[in-house]
Amino acid sequence: MRTALILLFILAFAAVPGALLPQRSLNKDKVDQYLAANGKTAEIMDKLQLFDVFSSVWFVAIVALLLISLVGCIIPRTIDHYKAMKTPPARAPKRLARLPLHDEAVVDAPADEVSKRVRERLNKWALTETPADEDRAGARSFSAEKGYLREFGNLVFHLGIALLIIIVGLGRMIYYEGQVILLTNTGTEISDDNVNSAVVVPFCNTAAANYDSLRSGNTFDGTTLNPFCIQVEDFAADYLPNGQAKMFTSHIRFAEEEDMRKPVDEWEKTTLQVNHPLRIAGDRVYLQGHGFAPAFKVTWPNGESRTSIVQFRPDDPTFFLSSGALRFDPPAGMYPDLFERRQNQIAIEGLFAPTAEFTGEKGALLQSSYPAMQDPAVAVDIYRGDAGLDTGRSQGLFSLDRDLMHSGQLAKEARVNLKQGESTELADGTKIEFLGAKEFVNLQVSHDPTQFWVLVATVAALAGMVMSLGIKRRRVWVRMFPLEDGRTRVEFGGLARTDKAGWGEEFQYIVDDILERDSDDEDAADNNTATNESADNKAKS
């Protein structure tokens, strides 16, 4: 038991880095930023797996040792507890007056009558009777014990902790958790077919590739997804005057596997809010966050155009000043060969503010003064050259490739601030127009079939802890000495095997019931008890 407690404290201490340092399982970008900012120290921390604490070898080893220790503690204690429940209570000590709780009195009743009272009063206790020839003091006595549920609760608590570790471990092997960003129709009015076709697009949980990011257990292979579809109709955010968010709400349509092929208009409707997930097909769908997706239109000198709408990353969690990047490939046939076409790609990188406020000496520094979209604007750098669309390497969603800039393959053409509907023209006549923005929602789909059993194990552990703390293991002995005049001298002894707080009052109730004392006798007994305790304290001092 001591080993399990030590390991539990070590486990709690080992989890501290996981709370203080960024973790790859939650945000790989923050880990990369931390490594870049802290040099050699961060590299050493990475080798110690401090950025992967909960999947590290040493953390798993501590959990495994804790589980082994708990099992090694539970099994022998369960056997001992079973034997203790089958073993009759111990015989009464020879001198009951030496026990922490003691009382005695002479009653006007024979010993048989007192024995009947004892059996009636202690009928819910484990009770045994010892005849006079076997009693240590040579008189008939009773031994009673109660509180076996204390040790039972202790065992249930430890078993619940062990089961919790096992269930969580199994859950981590079979779970999956995916993130997907969906554009809504909430935002500024944009009259463009490409933008309208990009918003309010259903998401279907039918393939792992449909997610923007996906984390899963070791046994998940992508073929066990629970099929369902969701379409986000709109998004609404409630804000306080200072810009703090109160609630996020989206109206959605959804369909399970049997209804997925029906028209979207026939899908079921519901409202999705923060901390109020949609439970569907064994999964939970959470509304985790939101942001803005600016739309830009690039028109080349020959009149052909391209429109793109891409979500920007909220860098300011309060007023949602966001950053992002877009890339445009020139129309086919505009340049004589692919190489020249690649050298004339257009890239846009910059900031978006839902409620623009321009500050600085020249009034050109873009800030956001409120998180709701009231006066959207962008501050962007426009580049021409190889934007990395044909390199075969993945490109950052929110920033351009700095290597392409440093090598001169991507050159800055202009830096402008644009409000909705405004545009700028490059030297060759290419026109860049800011069309407006739509809001996007970030949905999280979680699947963990062990969640219910985690709750069961947790409730069992808590119930066991309450039992072990609230129930007292206690013993009572009653010895009867028949007197020549037909009366009986009754002697009582009480002992709490653990904490005796509150046990004295219960012991006195038992004594009073058996002796059938009235209130005056109870007061006298209390005075005698107080006198005896005072005398004992003086003797000890």
366 within a domain of the structure (yes/no) = no
Is residue 377 domain-resident? no
The last residue of one of the domains, among 71, 105, 130, is: 71
54 and 103 in a single domain? The answer is no
In angstroms, rounded to a whole number, what is the distance separating the alpha carbons of residues 325 and 409?
A: 17
Residue 284's DSSP bridge partners are 279, 446
Residues 59 and 94 in one domain: no
> Contact at 8 Å (CB) between 419 and 377?
yes
How many angstroms separate the most distant Cα atoms in the chain?
Answer: 130
59 and 30 assigned to the same domain: yes
Q: How many CA atoms lie within 13 A of 448 on its CB side?
A: 22
Query: What total of structural domains would you count in the chain?
Result: 2
Residue 53 lies in a domain: yes
Residue 369 tokens read as 């003064």
**67 and 101 inside one domain:** no
Dihedrals phi, psi of 533, to nearest 5 degrees? -65, -40
The domain that contains 104 carries what CATH number?
Answer: 3.30.310.80
Question: Tokens 């429940």 label which residue?
Answer: 85
Tell whether 456 is covered by a domain: no
Q: At 62, phi and psi to the nearest 5?
A: -65, -45
483 falls within a domain: yes
CB 368 within 8 A of CB 356: yes
DSSP states of 491-527: EEEEEESS--TTHHHHHHHHHHHHHT--HHHHHHHHH
Beta bridge partners of 496: 474
Q: Which distant-in-sequence residues (6+ apart) come within 8 Å of 218 by Cβ?
A: 173
The SS3 call for residue 374 is coil
- Is position 101 within any domain? yes
Which position has the token pair 């393959």? 409
Q: Which domain holds residue 122?
A: 88-147+472-515
Digit-by-digit pLDDT tens for the chain (541 residues) are: 678 888 888 999 999 999 899 998 877 878 988 998 888 999 999 999 999 998 899 999 999 999 999 999 899 999 999 998 899 999 999 999 999 899 999 999 999 999 999 999 999 999 999 999 999 999 999 999 999 999 999 999 999 999 999 999 999 899 999 999 999 999 999 988 889 889 989 999 999 999 998 988 888 888 889 999 999 999 999 998 888 888 999 999 999 999 999 999 999 999 999 999 999 988 999 998 899 999 999 999 988 999 999 999 999 988 999 999 999 999 887 888 888 888 889 999 999 999 999 988 888 899 999 999 999 999 999 999 988 887 777 778 889 988 888 888 899 999 999 999 999 999 989 999 999 999 999 999 999 999 999 999 999 999 999 998 888 889 999 999 999 888 999 999 999 876 666 688 889 999 999 998 764 554 544 544 443 444 344 333 3
64 and 92 housed in the same domain: no
pTM: 0.74
d(Cα 470, Cα 460) in Å, to the nearest integer? 15
- What DSSP character marks residue 330? P
List Cβ neighbours of 469 (8 Å cut-off, separation of 6 or more): 153
Residue 268 lies in a domain: no
Burial class of 111 by CB neighbour count within 10 A (0 to 12, 13 to 18, 19+): buried
62 and 6 within one domain: yes
Residue 478 domain-assigned? yes
The C-alpha atoms of residue 226 and residue 416 are separated, in whole angstroms, by 47
